[in-house]
Structure 1
Amino acid sequence: MCRWTTSDAHLCPEPVLSCATAAASTRIFVPLPSAASLTLICFTLLLVTAGSATGACPPRAGHDSLQVLGSGVNCSWTLERHTRSYNHLEGDVRLRRLYSANKFFLCIDRAGKVDGTRRKNYADSLMEIRSVSVGVVAIKSVSNGLYLAMSKKGTLFGSVKYSPSCKFKERIEENGYNTYASLRWKHGGRQMFVSLNGRGKPRRGHKARRRHPSTHFLPMLPS
C-alpha cells in the first residue's frame, strides 16, 4: 500500500510519495530525435538508395559518413590520396634544379653535353620541367633551350628539337626522390634511367637501376 506522508519541517507541508509511485519516478526517459536529425537520417537513406540503384557514388562528406555510404557501392574514388596519381600535374610547368643523390646538379651546356656540376647557381642547371601527359615530362634547359634526350643506346644528350626521345616517365620514389626513365627506349625490356655517377658523369641508361642512388634526383626550387 502507498500512503501520503507529510514533512514537519515546513509550514505548508508537501506530500511525499512512497512505494511504487516513488520507484516509477526513477524511470529514465530517452528523448526522441529532433526534426533536424530525422531529416538528416531520411536524406542519408535517400542518397544510399539512389546510389545503389544508379551505381553512382554518393557525394563526398565527412570520413565517417563515407565509410557508411560507400558500403555496397562500387566507387572509383577513395579517402586516401593516390601517391602515383599525376592528373593534377598534367600541363604543369616547373622551374627546378635536379639535384642527384650523388650531390650533383644535372646540367646541359650549349653544345648539348649532359653533365653534373656542384655549382648551385650554375645557369645551365636550371631546368624547365613540363608535364606533357600524365606522369610524363619533358626537361629543357632554361639557359639554352635544349631538351634532355636519351638515345636508343641509353646515351643522354641535349636536343634542339623536341621529339619522343625527350619524354621521360617521372616517378616519385619511396625515399622522396624522383626517377626519370625514357618513355621511348628500353634495353632488353628494362627501363633506362637518367643517371649521374659518383664523378658527376652521365651513365648509360641500361646500366642504371631504379633503386640505385645515381638515378635519384631531387627537384629543387631555384634560389
Structure 2
Amino acid sequence: MCKWAPPSAGLRPGLPSQSLHQACLLLVLAASATLAGFPAPGSEDEAQKALLQAPAETAHLSWDLGRRARSYNHLEGDVRLRRLYSANKFFLSIDSMGRVRGNRHGNQTDSLLEIRSVSMGVVVIRSVSTGLYLAMSKKGALYGSAKYTADCQFRERIEENGYNTYAALRWRRGDRPMFVSLGGRGRPRGGHRTRRKHRSAHFLPMLPT
C-alpha cells in the first residue's frame, strides 16, 4: 500500500504530490491485472491431472461430436429383435430350408431376426423362428446356416440416408466389400454385384409389432 509522504518544498502542505497519486494508481492497476490474468498457484497442474484422470469416453467427446456418425458402436453381447426392411420394400427372411429371400409382409415369423453384436460394429443375424444364421459364402451367395461360423459375421454401418448396410466380414470381392442385398423381386443379389450406394443393400432395422 502507498503511504503518504511529507510534502516537498514548494507544494501545498497536507496534500500528496501529483506524481505520488499517479504512482499509486499505476500500482493498483498493475496488481488488478496480475490477479485477473494469471491462474492461482497449482491450478494448471490440477487441470492437467484432472484431464489425465478423465474417462476415455470423455477424452474422445469433442472428436465424436465433430464427426458424422457412420457406424453403431455396440458393446459385445448387445442383442436386438428387429425386422430388416430394405429400401426397395422387402423384409429380409430366412426360411426353414435355409433360403434367404425378401417378402412384402412384415408379419411373417421367419422375418423376425435377432441381431447380436459379437465385437465393435460386427453383428450376427439369426432368424428367431428357424434358428438359422444369415451367412455369405466366398462367392457372395446368401444362405441360412445351422451353425455359427465366420461366414455369419457382418459389419453393420449406418449410412448418410439413415439406412444400414451389412457387409461380409470374412469375404471381399477384390478390394470391395460384399453386401447383403435383395433385388427387385425379393431375391438375394450376389455379393460381387453389390455396392454400398445401391438401394437394394440398404435396410432399416424396424422394431417388431
Match of 1:140 among 114, 117, 126: 126
Alignment of 1:27-176 (within 5 A): 42=40, 46=43, 48-52=44-48, 56=52, 75-78=59-62, 80-81=64-65, 83-84=69-70, 86-176=72-162
- Matches of 1:85 and 1:77, distance apart in 2: 16
Q: CA deviation at 1:59?
A: 7.8
Matching of residue 202 in structure 1 with residue 188 in structure 2: yes
Gaps of at least 5 residues in structure 2 are 1-35
Residue pair 2:168, 2:177 contacting (<8 A) in 1 also: yes
CA spacing shift, 1:94–1:54, aligned 2, 3 Å: closer
Name the structure 2 match of 1:213.
199
* TM-score after normalising by structure 1: 0.69
Name the structure 2 match of 1:189.
175
Relative contact order: is structure 1 or structure 2 higher (C-alpha 8 Å, sep ≥ 6)? Answer: 2
Residue pair 2:72, 2:156 contacting (<8 A) in 1 also: no
1:5-50 CA distances to partner (integer Å, 9 max, x unpaired)? xxxxxxxxxxxxxxxxxxxxxxxxxxxxxxxxx9xx759x72x423
Gaps of at least 5 residues in structure 1 are 1-37, 61-65, 67-74
Q: CA deviation at 1:77?
A: 3.5
Residue pair 2:71, 2:157 contacting (<8 A) in 1 also: no
CA spacing shift, 1:119–1:191, aligned 2, 3 Å: same
The structure where helix makes up a greater share of residues is 2
SS at match of 1:78: helix
Name the structure 2 match of 1:27.
none
Question: How many equivalent pairs are there?
Answer: 169
- Matches of 1:212 and 1:194, distance apart in 2: 11
RMSD, matched Cα: 2.7
Q: CA deviation at 1:146?
A: 0.1
Task: Give the letter aligned to residue 187 of structure 1.
Answer: R
Name the structure 2 match of 1:26.
none
1:61-80 CA distances to partner (integer Å, 9 max, x unpaired)? xxxxx9xxxxxxxx443274
SS at match of 2:46: helix
CA spacing shift, 1:89–1:177, aligned 2, 3 Å: farther
